[in-house]
Amino acid sequence: MEYLISGQLLYHAILHGAEQTRESRGELNRINVFPVVDNDTGNNLAHTMQHILTNAALLDNVRPTLLEISRSALIGARGNSGAIFSQYLYGLYENSPEKPEITLSELSQYFHMAYSRAYEALETPVEGTIITLMRTWATSVAELKDREATLRDIFEEALRRVMLSLKDTTNTLQVLKELHIVDAGALGFYKFIEGFVRVITGQIQYVKKTAMTEVSKAEMSDVHALGKNASFPFRYCTEVLLEIDSRQTEALKSELKPLGDCLLMSASENLARVHLHTNEPWVVIRASAARGTI
């Protein structure tokens, strides 16, 4: 049986996933130790998701709706995890059709494209992080989509596999193993998919919330504990949003690579966002301005 998913249902599922991620920001901040111990993954993802929730409109069919979501994510993206997420959502949009509903098989293909886009945006992809869970989700849905099972059973099993992949991040990265925690970005993606599944399978009806829940003192009490002895070879987390011809993005990426680490360039149509840890943010800004309009 081939399941059909409407653009409206897909939109509501993504927005609920965004809300679930946003509401987890305290927990994500607390366990953020990779790629640097700066305890801001929760804040960065919350900002990214809030921009989607505030600005992405539901339009007539799947493609323009997904474009709304991906552009909102790119414009609102913060930090490494936010940039990766924005590129994931752009990949979800990229080959989507101009029609009001899609099949589960089509959606499975878009999940794979989303993972590929996010992976390609990373200068040095690292396993045991958000990118691993994105791949696990895509491959799991692809393997399960043709089973004689309900849509709920298919997505619940895929979600279970993603949870196993999340738990395994503790054993993949040494810093996580030493602290007995999972990767923060990976947990953020799990929260997103968990919320997505609840709506796409009809377990709950999506009701938009108006504001972020405040992070409690208990959640934030040890936010800085894990990073108190951290050292930072590059002092500035630098972000640039610019209008740029897509033919210029690779050249700009090559120019920026020697200036720091954690380089990530996410793009959507004629927009691009640069994320780089550097000691020379002014050089990053100057190079970006030479290739596009900030």
Mean pLDDT for the chain?
88
Count CA atoms closer than 13 A to 87's CA, side-chain side: 26
Q: Which two tokens stand for residue 240?
A: 């640039």
CA-wise closest residue to 264 among 54, 132, 111, 120: 120
What residue has token string 């840890």?
277
Q: What is the pLDDT of residue 230?
A: 53
Q: What is the pLDDT of residue 75?
A: 93
Q: What is the mean pLDDT of residues 157-185?
A: 94
Q: What is the pLDDT of residue 116?
A: 97
Confidence of residue 15 (pLDDT cuts 50, 70, 90): very high
38-76 burial, b at 16+ Cβ within 10 Å, e below that, comes to: bbbbbbbbbbbbbbbbeebeeeebbbbbbbbbbbbbbbb
pLDDT reading at 84 higher than 70 = yes
Q: Which residues pair with 267 in a beta bridge?
A: 272
CA-wise closest residue to 267 among 15, 35, 91: 91
Contact 202, 155 (CB under 8 A): no
Of the candidate ranges 126-130, 168-172, 268-272, the one whose mean pLDDT is the lowest: 268-272
Q: What is the pLDDT of residue 215?
A: 46
> In this predicted model, which residue has the larger pLDDT, 196 or 288?
196
All domains in the chain, ordered by first residue: 4-207 (1.25.40.340), 232-294 (3.30.70)
pTM for the whole structure: 0.87
Which helix (H) or strand (E) is 8 found in, with range? helix 7-22
pLDDT reading at 221 higher than 50 = no
CA distance 200 to 180: 32
Which pLDDT tens digit goes with each residue over 26-80?
Answer: 999 999 887 767 678 999 999 999 999 999 999 999 999 999 999 999 999 998 8
Cα–Cα distances (Å) from 25 to 1, 19, 227, in that order, read 38, 10, 17
Which pLDDT tens digit goes with each residue over 235-249?
Answer: 788 888 888 887 888
Cα–Cα distances (Å) from 192 to 186, 189, 195, in that order, read 10, 5, 5
pLDDT reading at 279 higher than 70 = yes
pLDDT reading at 226 higher than 80 = no
Which pLDDT tens digit goes with each residue over 184-217?
Answer: 999 999 999 999 999 999 999 887 765 555 444 4
Residue 92 neighbours by CB distance under 10 Å: 25
